[in-house]
């Protein structure tokens, strides 16, 4: 790391923490500087045996030890978890507080943790586990340049980072990239089912789908062409792809994606009010 190493504590060891911590350790973040707390033991066992990070059942203990606290519990638990941290951890204002929870606004965390906290909201996604994450970030105006560089570097280690202008944009980024892996897996599973329905076994169907998804994503990254033009390169006039694409366009795939993203943004906004 080019920024000074810091002790970082994850509160909650669920899917997203496992992905981020796994990716961070793989990218060279020192595991002895990573702390994770969770109520149940099995997830902690996996983290300590495979990644050699510190683990605990005690949120306040790991939070007190760390310079950076990453709040990684479900939004509906956030108020209670923060209340306990506020009661039990001294000098919260001296630490950088990061949250990966969807929806909940920085203003709300000030109510939960104190008006003097400094905070960064990160919206990551699960491909962080394999170093291909996409994380959106937004900070309050108390966060220093060094804090920004530190957290950018930590999340660059597990993929790409994109700073957004405000929390409304983070809700949109979350609906596209945070939730996005689920949309792609849904689509991939549907293609797998289509191939198995025509006689392929699941394994072979999966191989052809996942390799094609990887190839398409890598081509999109490598190319300066518009995505639409890359699509056209595959679609020979009078050929087979044109027939397949006609079916997707007939079902108005643009409309489906627009509605999916709007629904997810709306839920982020609801969670901001609820939790």
Ligand X SMILES: O=C(O)[C@@H]1CCC=N1
Instruction: Count the site residues for ligand X by CB under 6 A.
Output: 4
Give residue number: closest CB to ligand NAI. Answer: 14
Asked if 13 interacts with ligand NAI (CB under 6 A), we say yes
Residue from 2, 4, 40, 240 touching ligand NAI (CB under 6 A): that is 40
Binding mask 135-174 for ligand X (x = CB under 6 A): ---------------------------------------x
Closest distance to ligand X from the beta carbon of 69 (Å): 19
Mapped onto helix, strand or coil, the DSSP state of residue 152 is helix
Report the candidate in 13, 126, 30 with the shortest Cα–Cα distance to residue 70: 13
> 24 or 100, CB closer to ligand X?
100
Dihedrals phi, psi of 133, to nearest 5 degrees: -70, 165
Asked if 37 interacts with ligand NAI (CB under 6 A), we say yes
Closest distance to ligand NAI from the beta carbon of 234 (Å): 30
Q: Which stretch binds ligand NAI (CB under 6 A): 13-21, 145-153, 158-166, 188-196?
A: 13-21
Sign of the dihedral through C-alpha 100, 103, 104, 106 = positive
Taking a C-beta distance cutoff of 8 angstroms, is the pair 11, 73 a contact?
A: yes
Taking a C-beta distance cutoff of 8 angstroms, is the pair 133, 23 a contact?
A: yes
128 interface partner picked from ligand X, ligand NAI, none, CB below 5 to 8 A per type:
none
Q: Where are the beta strands (DSSP E) in the chain?
A: 8-11, 34-37, 54-56, 68-71, 96-99, 118-123, 133-139, 159-163
Asked if 178 interacts with ligand X (CB under 6 A), we say yes
> 96 or 205, CB closer to ligand NAI?
96
Angle ∠(94,100,103) on CA atoms, nearest 5: 110
Asked if 23 interacts with ligand NAI (CB under 6 A), we say no
Say which residue the tokens 């939730």 belong to: 179
Does 58 belong to an annotated binding site? no
In whole angstroms, give the CA distance from residue 179 to residue 261: 9
In whole angstroms, give the CA distance from residue 198 to residue 113: 56
Asked if 102 interacts with ligand X (CB under 6 A), we say yes
Taking a C-beta distance cutoff of 8 angstroms, is the pair 133, 125 a contact?
A: yes
Contacts of 71 (CB under 8 A, 6+ apart): 11, 12, 78, 81, 82, 97, 98, 99, 100, 101
Closest distance to ligand NAI from the beta carbon of 60 (Å): 10
> 11 or 97, CB closer to ligand NAI?
11
Asked if 37 interacts with ligand X (CB under 6 A), we say no
Instruction: Count the site residues for ligand NAI by CB under 6 A.
Output: 27
- Tell me which residues touch ligand NAI (CB under 6 A): 11-17, 37-40, 43, 59, 72-75, 77, 81, 100-102, 123-126, 178
Residue ranges in contact with ligand X by CB under 6 A? 102, 174, 178-179
């Amino acid at each position: 790391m080019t920024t000074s190493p810091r002790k970082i504590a994850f509160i909650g060891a669920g899917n997203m923490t496992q992905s981020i911590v796994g990716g961070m350790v793989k990218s060279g973040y020192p595991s002895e500087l990573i702390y994770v707390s969770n109520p149940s033991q099995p997830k902690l066992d996996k983290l300590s045996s495979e990644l050699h990070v510190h683990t605990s059942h005690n949120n306040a203990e790991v939070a007190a030890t760390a310079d950076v606290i990453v709040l990684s519990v479900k939004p509906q638990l956030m108020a209670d978890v923060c209340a306990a941290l506020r009661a039990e951890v001294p000098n919260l204002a001296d630490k950088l507080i990061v949250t990966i929870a969807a929806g909940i606004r920085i203003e709300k965390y000030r109510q939960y943790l104190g008006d003097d906290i400094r905070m960064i909201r990160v919206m990551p996604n699960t491909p962080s586990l394999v170093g291909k994450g996409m994380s959106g970030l937004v900070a309050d105006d108390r966060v220093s340049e060094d804090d920004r560089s530190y957290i950018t570097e930590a999340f660059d280690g597990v993929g790409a980072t994109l700073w957004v202008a405000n929390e409304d944009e983070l809700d949109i980024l979350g609906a596209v990239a945070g939730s996005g892996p689920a949309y792609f897996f849904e689509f991939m599973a549907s293609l797998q089912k289509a191939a198995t329905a025509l006689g392929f076994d699941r394994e072979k169907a999966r191989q052809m789908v996942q390799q094609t998804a990887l190839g398409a994503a890598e081509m999109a990254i490598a190319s300066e062409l518009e995505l639409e033009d890359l699509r056209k390169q595959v679609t020979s006039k009078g050929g087979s792809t044109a027939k397949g694409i006609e079916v997707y366009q007939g079902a108005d795939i643009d409309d489906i994606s627009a509605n999916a993203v709007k629904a997810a943004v709306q839920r982020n906004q609801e969670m901001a009010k609820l939790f």
